[in-house]
Amino acid sequence: MGLGPKCPQLLGIQVLSGCDSTSYLYGKGKISALNTLLSGNYPGLSEIVGEVGTTYEQLMEATTPFFISLYGQPPGTSMESARFKLFTKKTRTPKLMALQPTTTNLLQHTLRAHLQVMLWKAANNQAPPAESTDVTQFGWEIVNDIPSPVIVKGNPAPPELIDAICCQCKARGKKCSTVIKSIFHAHPFATVLEDLNALIHT
């Protein structure tokens, strides 16, 4: 296959695409991740991910380009802009789980991946790095004495857009006949998308 100098990046690819201690990306398995690595170069996956003392900003700068490419978007695209593009290109309402993660959720996922790679890199040492002992700094929280993944609370999109996805009724400008009631039905769907696009690019 000829990975050459990209071989050290395999640790990052393995954990970011899902393993025993990290979640996987819906519809994006190991083959997709490996093909993304073969078609690009992401040195931060080996030089930043798993290194002691790495900051949140460094982690996001190192991992975001990989995720952007994994979802077929051009370099330099923001996560929010990529989600918008993937949503609007669908002819039918897409599954939210099939979209790219939000930036806030990607950070938590990346932190868990960072911790796992840090432990792998320290496998030949007598003890893991001191900073790795506090898992709450790496996308985990303690619930009933059990580590649980941090799930970011908040809407992944404007409420009007979420309503359109959840309800899917055709009551435009009319009273909604479903159990979901909101102001969305008074606004054309295209207007909501235009407003969202403007918000993303401001």
pLDDT digits (tens, 9 = 90+) for 155-172: 656 666 666 556 555 555
Single-letter amino acid code for the residue at 9: Q
> What number is the average pLDDT over the span 55-79?
90
Query: Cα(141)–Cα(145) distance, rounded to whole angstroms?
Result: 9
The answer to whether 106 touches 62, Cβ cutoff 8 Å, is no
DSSP string, 8-74: GGHHHHHHHT-BTTBPPBTTB-HHHHHHHHHHS--THHHHTTT-TT--HHHHHHHHHHHHHHHTTPP
Which tokens belong to 41? 């170069």
What count of Cα atoms within 13 Å lies in the side-chain half-sphere of residue 12? 28
More confident residue, 123 or 162: 123
pLDDT at position 187 is: 45
Query: Cα(31)–Cα(29) distance, rounded to whole angstroms?
Result: 6
Query: Cα(122)–Cα(11) distance, rounded to whole angstroms?
Result: 13
pLDDT at position 130 is: 94
Query: Cα(118)–Cα(134) distance, rounded to whole angstroms?
Result: 13
At residue 201, does pLDDT exceed 70? Answer: no
> What number is the average pLDDT over the span 179-201?
48
> In which element (H, E) is residue 87 found?
helix 79-88
Name which of 43-52, 74-83, 119-128, 184-193 the model is least confident about. 184-193
3-state helix, strand, coil in the chain (%, to 5): 50, 5, 40
DSSP 181: -
The answer to whether 172 touches 185, Cβ cutoff 8 Å, is yes
The chain-wide mean pLDDT, for the chain, equals: 80
pLDDT at position 179 is: 45
> What number is the average pLDDT over the span 10-32?
91
pLDDT at position 52 is: 95
Beta-bridged to residue 140, according to DSSP, are: 149
Give the dihedral sign, CA 86/87/93/94: positive
pLDDT at position 169 is: 58
pTM of the predicted model as reported, rounded to 2 decimal places: 0.74
At residue 183, does pLDDT exceed 50? Answer: no
pLDDT at position 158 is: 65
> What number is the average pLDDT over the span 99-106?
83
> What number is the average pLDDT over the span 52-68?
94
